[in-house]
Amino acid sequence: MTDDWRTSGYSNQAGGHCVEVAETRERVMVRATVNRGAGHLAFPVAEWRALLAGLDRMWSGAVGAFAG
């Protein structure tokens, strides 16, 4: 597990209604900022990148900044 969670750049200063992401070599974890104690979803890195690439294509570049 990691303590290196980062908040979406689209979040407001109050931290509401957004997600946080943390990465390891094998996984990308995603959790809700408003309920951190509820746990997280974990994705293999390749699946996470495929998800972001698909969203990028679907939204014509609107989420390209997330692909990092």
Does some domain include residue 68? Answer: no
The rounded distance, in Å, linking the Cα atoms of 52 and 55 is: 5
Question: Is 52 contained in some domain?
Answer: yes
Specify the number of domains making up the chain.
Answer: 1
Span 3-39, pLDDT tens digits: 789 887 666 666 566 889 999 999 999 998 888 889 9
Q: Is residue 25 part of a domain?
A: yes
CA distance 26 to 11: 26
The 10 Å CB-count burial string (b at 16+, else e) for 19-30 is: bbbbeeeebbbe
User: What residue type is 51 in one-letter code?
Assistant: L
- Domain of residue 47 covers 6-63
Q: Would you say residue 1 lies in a domain?
A: no
**Considering the entire predicted model, what is its pTM?**
0.68
From the list 18, 4, 9, the residue with the least C-alpha distance to 68 is: 9
Q: Is residue 57 domain-resident?
A: yes
44 within domain boundaries: yes
